[in-house]
Amino acid sequence: MFKRLFILLLSLTSALLLLGGCILKPEYGEIVYAVKSEEFTDTTLKDAAEDLVKRAEIAGYSETKVSFSENHIKLKIYDIEYEELESLAQLIAKPGKLNFVEFQGDVILTGKNIKEAQVVFENNANQKPAIAIEFDEEGKNVFSEATNRLSKEKEVENRTLFIFIDEEIISAPVISEPIEGGKAVITGDFTIKEASEIVALLQGGALDIELDVVEINMVK
């Protein structure tokens, strides 16, 4: 009898230790953003919150919850380590504004005309990561007309199309012929991680407000 009681107590102790380990283990990561923009509405705040969730999901974190009030947005992200949480917090808060700009400085298209974006690999010996994009109907027509016009320029610099993400040039192809069909591939010296991050920004949509990361925590 005492032997059975001892075994039972040992089993209960082991179970409590395991349960205690589960309780002590961080359950989710939490990111708190503060709005930097001076002017914004409840609608733009709600849209930004939804875009953050979409970006996090595209980056591979499907269990994400969001809440917002006044000038703060709070994200809860499950199944994530602290180092990943820090990196993700900065990534998804980027404005993510894509612009196609001519040499003279005129903006031809923006990310609002992107219907789809995905990571692909260049069809050559290098097999470098690239970003395949598909335009909406308006973007398809504008891009076709613009590349047709640029391809006829005599000077190489005037045929250059600069592609920006926020303030950074990610590619600057020289247009030699019209690009039709509403699809294009952005090439550059990307790593898979960099290409995936750009896709997350493009698919998630550009943010209409500026955000600051004010808290990053693992919550038990």
| Residues 44-59 pLDDT 10s | 999 999 999 999 999 8
Phi-psi region of 127 (alpha: psi -120 to 50; beta: other; left: phi over 0): left
The answer on 139 and 52 residing in a single domain is no
For residue 144, with 0-12 CB atoms within 10 Å meaning exposed, 13-18 middle and 19 or more buried, which class applies?
A: middle
What's the total number of domains in the chain? 2
Domain-embedded: residue 23: no
The answer on 189 and 156 residing in a single domain is yes
The answer on 118 and 32 residing in a single domain is no
pLDDT band at 26 (very low <50, low <70, confident <90, very high): low
Domain-embedded: residue 3: no
Higher-confidence position of 108 and 5: 108
Averaged over 91-95, what is the pLDDT?
94
The answer on 147 and 86 residing in a single domain is no
Percent of the chain whose pLDDT exceeds 70: 88
pLDDT at 126: 75
The answer on 162 and 107 residing in a single domain is yes
pLDDT at 174: 95
| Domain ranges, residue 170 | 98-203
The answer on 182 and 88 residing in a single domain is no
| Residues 67-86 pLDDT 10s | 998 899 999 999 999 999 99
The answer on 138 and 91 residing in a single domain is no
Q: What's the CATH number where 185 sits?
A: 3.30.1360.200
The pTM of the full predicted model, rounded to 2 decimals, is 0.79
The answer on 143 and 209 residing in a single domain is no
Judge whether 203 and 51 are in contact, CB under 8 Å: no
On the question of pLDDT at 10 being above 50, the answer is: no
Higher-confidence position of 18 and 52: 52
The answer on 80 and 33 residing in a single domain is yes
The answer on 198 and 102 residing in a single domain is yes
d(CA 189, CA 195) in angstroms, rounded, equals 9
Q: What's the CATH number where 48 sits?
A: 3.30.70.3400
Angle in degrees, 0-180, between the axes of helices 42-58 and 82-92, rounded to the nearest 10: 130
55: which residues sit within 8 A by CB, 6+ positions away?
91, 92, 96, 200, 201, 203, 204
The answer on 148 and 84 residing in a single domain is no
Phi-psi region of 207 (alpha: psi -120 to 50; beta: other; left: phi over 0): beta
Domain-embedded: residue 12: no
